[in-house]
A and B are shown apart, each in its own frame.
Chain A
Amino acid sequence: MSTDVKAAERRLGLWLCAPAAIFMILVAGWPILYSIWLSFNRYDLRFPQDQQWVGLENYQTVLTNEFWWTAFGVTVLITVVSVAIELVLGMGLAIVMHRTLVGRGLIRTVVLIPYGIVTVVAAFGWFYAWTPGTGWLAALLPDGSAPLTQQWPAILIIIGAEVWKTTPFMALLLLAGLALVPDELSRAAAMDGAGRWKRFVSITLPLMRPAIAVALLFRTLDAFRIYDNIYILTNGAQNTGSVSIITYTNLVSGLNLGIGSTMSVLIFITVAIIAFIFVTVFKTGTPGTEGRR
């Protein structure tokens, strides 16, 4: 009897969810399916007569192309380095914000300012700062150097702009995690003679693990799609383009929907893999379920 009621309830639940689920599939699923379909076609807007099904040919073209792999490498590098720096800096900021007694609201607001500035606007600020003749940062360099026109200096500047902008976001997420750590544990450990560092590593960090994992997941997925900072700072010249930049170039500037869609499907797959790793390895998706393992 009671199982019947449960089953009926579950059925009702599914029916109630259905409209939302169908709507999601229409809105999010259709564009994805359409780009997957496009990626199996030769579909170049400049040759409207020559559209045809080519199977996996576009994938072969992209996956054997040096420009694609350069962009992929640059993207991974920017993602790993910027997220690592952000985690350390963000943790520092979160601790400062957590411990502050006076002017807590003011400090949190000030820290958040870079995150509040529109990325493109901030990127223009960095662009001019690093351009010889107009920039205060370029003026610090030896005469005649234009860092944004060289690959490595440009990548470093892009990473710097990313870190400057998104560290506050990281700090905010970590601050929420810090608030979850009960003060009593720390105090008890202090009584037992554990130093600051020991308490941080053995008590604070493990308890913050879900918060850290969520922060890392959000930022990694976000950083992997980096577009606006690069678009303004170099627009991908001198091999500084990310996968999003090269996809835009092929899709919109190159008018090649087949190749461009192939790239966006590849980005989609990569993002899915990153999310899958985080969810399975770090159990990020469902914080709070660790105890029930």
Chain B
Amino acid sequence: MPIGERLTRFIAAALATVGLAAVLSGCGGGGGMTVINLYNAPQENLSRIVERCNQLADGRYRIALNTLPRDADGQREQMVRRLAASDPGMDVLGIDVTWTAELASANWIRPWPDALRTEAEKGVLEAPLETATYEDQLYAAPYNTNVQLLWYRTDLMPEPAQTWSELVATAERLASAGEPHYVEVTGAQYEGLVVWFNSMIASADGSILNEAGDKVELGRPAVTAMKQMRDFAASAAANPSLSNTQEDTARLAMESGAAFAQLNWPFVYASMVANRPDIAENFAWAPYPGIDSPGRAPLGGANFAISAYSEHPEEAFDAALCLRDDESQLMAAVHDGLPPTIESVYADPAMADPYPMRDAILEAIKTAAPRPVTPVYQNVSTVTSALLSPPRGIDPTGDERRLADQLKDALESKGVLP
């Protein structure tokens, strides 16, 4: 076969393949199946949920699962870069609870139409529902929620502490008895430090921003919260590497036996049972501690939003509804340990075994402290964590004023991110 002919054949074959791929990836129309691109944080068993929804879709569309980077900043960055470029390649977006306002304000995600909104809100707990709402519009369907609890060893602290001062007192008693005396908390310079501060200030009856998210509140409750954080950081309860502790470091410190308590998300339970069955016997949970009384737990989670640049919004909304219905949420809870946002799912018998702490979670969600709702949350978070780090060096009154100034700039998008 002469080379010219071979080349022609090769090009023809290549063109045919490209054409076929175009049909398969189906820009709708021509009878090919519509593909709905789902972008989500890594979740081990999400493909099972996607498969189930694809079967239910019965040929109307096919959801393709695309996995975002592992860390939240990386996920957000990839999304906002593509949204800023009006990329039509993303349809359903798995977004963190703190991004709703930002993406909605930039007109990058669609408000849910009334008919679908009712469906997405049915039976959903109030706190997670609010994280999906911005300026009275629903911008995402709640998928999973999360709360931190106090995890402790009953052999070292028979009665769970209700306040941070009680935790410190217990730590001092254990330290003088030569027992493990650390309380692990996320004190590194990142979102975890903001989560901690936000919870402390909520327990002191204050907030970082006002409810509308356009004015700085702080004030006396912030000073109280900062003082409590600094006192904790300087006490026997604080691990020397507090200023470097993230969720996973905290879990490991507790599993290694150095700590008698930690403030963390429920994923630590399964890990403790698997890694240290000997400690797991005495491993219990209690509500998040507060300033003078039990506190308000940090609230986390993720929701599904529809990209403003999606070319198949109807199918995308339908897919999102399926990805977070009762059955999907139960699967996410049982296989991946993600707490559901639909209240009735907690009562499912299948939850009992993997989720012995489900009542405590349900209870904590009802009083949990959401993070500030503002389009500039990214700035609020970076500035706050930079200012409060390291917790040991906090100067309550001075730092309250400095933080207020910097947050004010951030709200006017004049602020500079460190």
Contact = CB atoms under 8 A, between A and B. Distances in A.
A237 B189 contact: yes
B77 A254 contact: no
A61 B102 CA distance: 22
B413 A256 contact: yes
B81 interface: yes
B416 A259 contact: yes
B417 A45 contact: no
A61 B416 CA distance: 8
Interface string B52-95: 00000000000000000000010011001100100000000000
A48 interface: yes
> Interface extent on B, as a size class?
20 to 34
Contacts of A48: 106-107
Given A42-B413, A46-B375, A67 B77 contact: no
B409 interface: yes
B376 interface: yes
Given A61-B414, A258-B413, A46 B241 contact: no
Interface string B360-389: 000000000000000110110010001000
B244 interface: yes
Interface stretch (A95-103, A169-177, A180-188, A245-253): A245-253
Contacts of B416: 61-62, 65, 67-68, 246, 250, 259
Interface string B105-121: 11100000000000000
A144 B241 contact: yes
Interface string A121-152: 00000000000000000000000101001000
Contacts of B349: none
Given A144-B241, A252-B77, A254-B379, A47 B413 contact: yes
Contacts of B241: 144, 146
Contacts of A61: 409, 414-416
B189 A253 contact: no
A191 to B, nearest CB: 62
Q: Which of A42, A46, A57, A58 has the most CB of B within 10 A?
A: A46
B4 interface: no
Interface string B236-251: 0000110010000000
A134 to B, nearest CB: 14
B178 interface: no
Contact of A241 (B106, B244, B376, B418): B418
> Interface extent on A, as a size class?
20 to 34
A50 B413 CA distance: 10
Interface string A40-68: 00101111101000000110011001011
B80 to A, nearest CB: 6
A90 interface: no
A255 B80 contact: yes
A143 to B, nearest CB: 11
Contacts of A146: 241, 244
B105 A252 contact: no
A238 B243 CA distance: 11
B160 to A, nearest CB: 30
A210 interface: no
Contact of A252 (B81, B240, B386): B81
B191 to A, nearest CB: 13
Interface string A102-130: 00000000000000000000000000000
Nearest to B416: A65
A238 B77 CA distance: 21
A168 interface: no
Nearest to A65: B416
Interface of B: 73, 76-77, 80-81, 84, 102, 105-107, 189, 240-241, 244, 375-376, 378-379, 382, 386, 409, 413-418
Given A68-B416, A249-B417, 6 more contacts: A45-B84, A61-B415, A146-B244, A236-B418, A238-B189, A252-B77
Nearest 3 pairs between A and B by C-beta? A44-B413, A67-B418, A46-B375
22 contacts: A44-B413, A46-B375, A46-B376, A48-B107, A50-B413, A61-B409, A61-B415, A67-B417, A68-B416, A70-B418, A236-B418, A237-B189, A246-B416, A246-B417, A252-B81, A253-B76, A253-B378, A254-B379, A254-B417, A255-B80, A258-B413, A259-B415
